[in-house]
Amino acid sequence: MNKKLAAALAGAAVTLLAATGCSDDNGAEVQKWAGSLCDRIQPELQKRDQANLAISEATTEKDPRKVQEADARAFGEISEAYTAMSKAVNKVGAPPVDDGKNTHGGAVTELQQVAGAYADLQKQVEDLDVKDQAAFAEGLRELAGEADKISKSGDEALNKLQAGEVGQALAEQEGCQKSKAKPSQKA
C-alpha cells in the first residue's frame, strides 16, 4: 500500500503540468514558475513522505490501537499536505504555457480532491473497531484498496508529466526532487 500511496501523492502534486508544452521563447519564465512552485511545495512533500513512512512503520506494530492512531494521524497529515499544495499551486498561478490556465485549474481541483480523499481515509480508519481484530484487519485491507485507487490516478498524472519542457523544468528544481523521509526516532 505505501509504495502505491507514495506514487499517487507524487503524481498528484504536479498534475497541473500535464499536457502542457513550451517554446524556447518562454523557457526562462517556465523555469522561474517551476522554481516558485517547487519552493512552496517542498515542505509539504516532506510532510507527506514522513506520513507515508509512519504508515509503513506502523505495519510492524502489534497493538491495533497504535496502528489506528498512527494511520489516522498520517492520513490527516497527508490531507493537510495536499491542501497546502493546492493552495501553493493556486497562489503561483498558471504555468506560462499554452492552455496553462486550464491545466492550473485542473491541478488545483485534483489536489483538493486528493486532500479530501485522505481526510476521508483518516475518518474511516478512526471508525474501525480495534476490539475485533478480524474486522480491524479487514477494514485496513479495504482502506488499502481505496488508497490503491488514489495511487492509480497519481500514476497517470506522473506519466503525463514526464514529457515537455514544463516537466523538465520541474525536474531540475531542487524543491521538486523526491524528498527522502527519514525513519522516526523511537524512544
Q: At what angle do helices 164-172 and 27-58 cross, to 10 degrees?
A: 60
Whether residue 154 is predicted with pLDDT greater than 70 in this model: the reply is: no
Distance separating alpha carbons of residues 153 and 19, to the nearest angstrom: 15
As a whole number of angstroms, the longest Cα–Cα distance in the chain is 63
What is the grid cell recorded at 24?
Answer: 524556447
Would you place residue 27 in the very low, low, confident or very high pLDDT band (cuts 50, 70, 90)? confident
Distance separating alpha carbons of residues 16 and 173, to the nearest angstrom: 16
Q: Report which of residues 161 and 102 the model is more confident about.
A: 102
From residue 25, alpha-carbon distances to 22, 40, 53, 139, 165 in Å are: 8, 25, 41, 53, 12
Give me the helices (H) in 93-175, please.
100-126, 133-161, 164-172
Name the residue type at position 169: A
Would you place residue 181 in the very low, low, confident or very high pLDDT band (cuts 50, 70, 90)? low
Distance separating alpha carbons of residues 131 and 127, to the nearest angstrom: 12
Distance separating alpha carbons of residues 167 and 154, to the nearest angstrom: 15
Q: In this predicted structure, which of 61-75, 79-93, 150-164 has the lowest mean pLDDT?
A: 150-164
Which residues, other chains included, contact 120 with Cβ-Cβ below 8 Å and sequence gap of 6+?
Answer: none
- How many of the other CB atoms lie within 10 Å of CB of 4? 17
pLDDT at 21: 44
Residues written for the chain: 187
Whether residue 122 is predicted with pLDDT greater than 90 in this model: the reply is: yes
- Alpha-carbon torsion 125, 131, 137, 142, what sign? negative
